[in-house]
Amino acid sequence: DTAVSQTPKYLVTQMGNDKSIKCEQNLGHDTMYWYKQDSKKFLKIMFSYNNKELIINETVPNRFSPKSPDKAHLNLHINSLELGDSAVYFCASSLFLSTDTQYFGPGTRLTVL
Amino acid sequence: QQQVKQSPQSLIVQKGGISIINCAYENTAFDYFPWYQQFPGKGPALLIAIRPDVSEKKEGRFTISFNKSAKQFSLHIMDSQPGDSATYFCAASDMSGAGSYQLTFGKGTKLSVIP
């Protein structure tokens, strides 16, 4: 009974391709996030959705487009992949405006060749 | 602009010793300070968290010390064990305002506990 799951776990692709990462949570949370962790382990938020509405959109290239079909799912689509997109992408979820913390998924390691 | 500064970047501690990781923040609106633990190949997981109305919180071998006036907080791991070897992240957020869903992370500390 995984709380926050992501697919795929590993993604290897060529520059210029388009790829998607899927995330699902079964915690009943209403807010979901995408983080990028670079090779130096720095965690940076990219997007956040609350009840399917975008509430955080950090300075991220518009090649990255999140989509939330419902509050249990948040997918990340990346167009025209570049070498610098190689990183580990984490999905997380929480309750909005709550002292409860964010729960992270296992991550998707994206390698762009 | 890094709003949460974490040190050291890496730490090596003997088994049974005390591991100490420090963080400093700039935004006085921050009022929730969690620590996350990340093992290789896994996502970060909440370890312990504190609100600024207390100066210390202890859970087992893990203690957060909080100094509001200095805008600093630290994680102490007592009787460190090889199984504690992981990367530790401090974080902060403003739980009261419109940005209360956003965690700002420190850059992480890689802890290695050697037998």
Residue A52 near chain B (CB below 8 Å): no
B2 pLDDT above the threshold of 80:
no
How is B41-62 classified by DSSP, letter by letter? TS--EEEEEE-TT-SEEEETTE
Is A47 in contact with A60 (CB distance < 8 Å)? yes
Confidence bin at B67 (pLDDT 50/70/90): very high
Q: How far apart are CA A62 and CA B15, in angstroms?
A: 47
Contact A97 B95 (CB under 8 A): yes
Q: Which residues of B touch A (CB under 8 A)?
A: 32, 34, 36, 38, 41-46, 49, 51, 87, 89, 95, 100-103, 105, 107-108, 110
Tokens encoding A79: 């167009």
Is A87 in contact with A38 (CB distance < 8 Å)? yes
Contact B110 A41 (CB under 8 A): yes
Residue in A91, A41, A31 with CA at minimum distance from that of residue B106: A41
The single-letter DSSP state of residue B21 is E
Of A55, A101, A106, nearest to B49 by CB-CB distance is A101
> pLDDT tens digits for B7-62?
999 999 999 999 999 999 998 888 889 999 999 999 999 999 999 889 999 999 99
CA torsion A63-A68-A69-A75 (nearest 10°) is 60
Tokens 């850059």 identify what position? B107
> pLDDT tens digits for A56-92?
777 788 999 999 999 899 999 999 999 999 999 999 9
Contact A43 B44 (CB under 8 A): yes
The single-letter DSSP state of residue B29 is T
Chain B: residue nearest A95 by CA? B101
Residue in B42, B16, B33, B14 with CA at minimum distance from that of residue B89: B33
Task: Of A19-33, B31-45, B56-70, B95-109, give the lowest mean pLDDT range.
Answer: B95-109
Residue in B44, B41, B45, B70 with CA at minimum distance from that of residue B55: B70
Contact A56 B101 (CB under 8 A): yes
The predicted pLDDT at position B98 comes to 56
Residue A104 near chain B (CB below 8 Å): yes
Tokens encoding B85: 């070897």
Residue A106 near chain B (CB below 8 Å): yes
Residue in B93, B20, B67, B54 with CA at minimum distance from that of residue A102: B93
Is B21 in contact with B90 (CB distance < 8 Å)? yes
User: For A8-12, what is the mean pLDDT?
Assistant: 97
The number of beta carbons lying within 10 Å of the beta carbon of residue A66 is 21
The predicted pLDDT at position B96 comes to 64
Chains A, B: CB contacts within 8 A come to 54
Q: How far apart are CA B73 and CA B91, in angstroms?
A: 10
Confidence bin at A36 (pLDDT 50/70/90): very high
Please list the residues that pair with B4 across neighbouring strands.
B25
The predicted pLDDT at position B94 comes to 79
